[in-house]
Structure 1
Amino acid sequence: MDNVNDTFLLELNSKIIKPDLQVAVFADENVLQKRLSERNVLTRFERGNQSYNELLYMNKGIIELEKRNIDVLCINNNTDLENNVEEIVSCIISNWREK
């Protein structure tokens, strides 16, 4: 969202140990915008309806991680936060037991 080059980001992170699991938590654009409208203070990334770009770049990042054989657990957090937390914890425990 800050016009940082993909190659730069990949090089910057090239020496970092690959994670066993990456968790991507997202919600639909309209859900994000509704939640943001209920807040009193917004960050520069939250102002000006950046949700579309955020979701676009998140999807692009997920694709890049998967190309590098990094497992990405994608959680749609439109509703049911409790169930989503349980799914994340279950996946982490399962992944840990496999190692």
Structure 2
Amino acid sequence: MPKIILSVIFFLAIAVLSFSFSQKLIVEDFNTYVDDYGRQEPQLPKVVKLIEDLDYLSIYRLYKLQMVGSIEKKESSTTIAGLLTKHLEAFA
């Protein structure tokens, strides 16, 4: 029984250390993106691409509504989180 408990603790420790992230670094990156987005002419490529994609979002939704109709399809992103995920996948 003690071997099982030690094994579980060991694997949990490995999982926590493997998937940990630096919250400070993430907040700094987020603030960098927000500051760059607020500039007159953004410099970061991800922000420039995001602004272009946001400009085309209304056109995309109009054509999607005309071609598919008002029935929502689950394979398309309709939430902000889904749209941002699709946007960032272009850089992966």
Q: Same fold (TM over 0.5)?
A: no
TM-score by length of 1: 0.24
Structure with higher Rg: it is: 2
- TM-score using structure 2 length: 0.25
- Give the number of the structure with larger relative contact order, counting CA–CA contacts within 8 Å between residues 6 or more apart: 1
Tell me which protein shows more helix as a share of its residues: 2
